[in-house]
Copies of this chain bind each other. A is one copy, B any other.
Amino acid sequence: MTEKQSAAITVKVQTEDFSQELIYKQLAAIPYCGAIVTFVGLVRDHPELELKALELEHYPGMTEHCLYSIAEEAVQRFSLKAVQIVHRVGYLTPEQQIVVVGVAAGHRSDAFAGAEFIMDYLKTQVPIWKKQHDTSGTLWVEAKTSDQQQYNRWSKC
């Protein structure tokens, strides 16, 4: 019988913005943690292309369950002590925050691996879709093979 790592997991899917600061502060308050890694994804404007907005659609219910399962798996694989994930949906303009993943761990290599693992899963397994609005119209964002390759790295041998 393997002992299960217990950890504080928080998952939110919301239209409102989130505070990276608050998430960091909550993670830093977890006892016996030496390492906190946060990742934030922003709506990226491109110099060539006039992006007006990203519209994010998701599968309510399944999105939250997926994110929670990913967080739980990351806790077990990397001995994380806490995970916080907030993913925004709806209409987001350039430079706005899309997603934050924050993890607290005893050691830095676990914290880095845990946060990257969650992002790689999120990018390929969680039912969220982006539609790009620019000056020439709208376009559904295509899934990238590089994201699938990033995800495949984590499969257990």
Chain A residues engaging chain B, CB cutoff 8 angstroms: 20-21, 24, 28, 31-47, 95, 97, 106, 108-109, 111-112, 115-116, 119, 146, 150
Contact = CB atoms under 8 A, between A and B. Distances in A.
Given A21-B21, A46-B32, A112-B115, A38 B41 contact: no
Contact of A40 (B35, B112, B115): B35
Contacts of A106: 44
Copies of this chain per assembly: 2
Contacts of A111: 39
A116 B115 CA distance: 12
Given A32-B46, A46-B32, A47-B32, A41 B108 contact: yes
Contact of A37 (B33, B38, B95): B38
